[in-house]
Structure 1
């Protein structure tokens, strides 16, 4: 239980670092460059995703070791699938909250990020993208 909480905490730190970069890029693109905030979410999301993947692979889930079921490219492909859907959900959710509830896009984005990051991204990354394979002793019993 303690190990799961430790991994969850590390995942949230990694996500937070990527998310801060993502959020700053969204604000800069929208406010300084005049890009619509939904497009800025995608731009920031891609940059934040690279940071998040690197931190998760090397630090959070430590998937460099041989006890991981999937290769780097398979992990990257699965991660890209999660990120694309995450960006779509974040952009759509932010647009919905901003447009229909008349809340600023900056605050709408934070609300949407919390829901998507905690509810979807962590679970998929932990149990699908960076899934550990069973040790040989367990595999032989199956």
Structure 2
């Protein structure tokens, strides 16, 4: 009975360590994505003479593809059909965008706070919620076999 409890504790610690390691990798991919998004937006606005909204949107689309492939192959290390994973990843990303906009709207328009506070709260909340949704649903264990 004691050995069984020790094995459960070891398994729990291993899962925690694995999840923490994935969270760090996810954060690195997110940081890379944010930097690339900023660079692309500046490129589209300053060099290509597009509006900031269009430039940022194009940057978002490109970074979405880059971060998807980095997270699929490096963070979560899954194989399978890209189409199914990408569709799920897109849903999670768009859900994060909606959450971001709700938090930003609420902090600015309901609480009369600076949008900097809203962006800070949103960045932390969306990063964590997107990680959890991607780990459990997009790239979850049951998805690793066939995609």
Gaps of 5+ in 1: 65-69, 137-142
Q: Distance in 2 between matches of 1:20 and 1:82?
A: 20
Q: Offset at 1:58? A: 1.4
Instruction: Tell me the number of residue pairs that the alignment of Structure 1 and Structure 2 aligns.
Output: 127
After superposition, the Cα gap between the structure-2 partners of 1:135 and 1:52, relative to the gap in structure 1 and judged at 3 Å, is closer
Q: Offset at 1:72? A: 1.6
Q: Note the alpha carbon deviations across 1:58-90, whole angstroms, 9 max, x for none.
A: 1111113xxxxx522111111111111111221
Q: Distance in 2 between matches of 1:63 and 1:85?
A: 22
Backbone CA RMSD of aligned residues: 3.5
After superposition, the Cα gap between the structure-2 partners of 1:24 and 1:3, relative to the gap in structure 1 and judged at 3 Å, is same
CA contact (8 A) 1:75 1:130 kept: yes
CA contact (8 A) 2:78 2:144 kept: no
Q: Offset at 1:115? A: 0.9
Q: Distance in 2 between matches of 1:84 and 1:72?
A: 18
Q: Offset at 1:29? A: 8.3
Selected match of 1:85 from 92, 95, 98: 95
Gaps of 5+ in 2: 1-15
Q: Distance in 2 between matches of 1:63 and 1:28?
A: 33
Larger relative contact order (CA 8 Å, sep ≥ 6): 1
Query: What is the TM-score when the length of structure 2 is the normalising length?
Result: 0.65
> Residue in 2 aligned with 1:76?
86
> Residue in 2 aligned with 1:19?
34
> Residue in 1 aligned with 2:7?
none
Which of the pair is proportionally richer in helix?
Answer: 2
> Residue in 2 aligned with 1:58?
73
Q: Distance in 1 between matches of 2:144 and 2:71?
A: 21
CA contact (8 A) 1:22 1:48 kept: yes
Return the index of the structure with the highest Cα Rg. Answer: 2
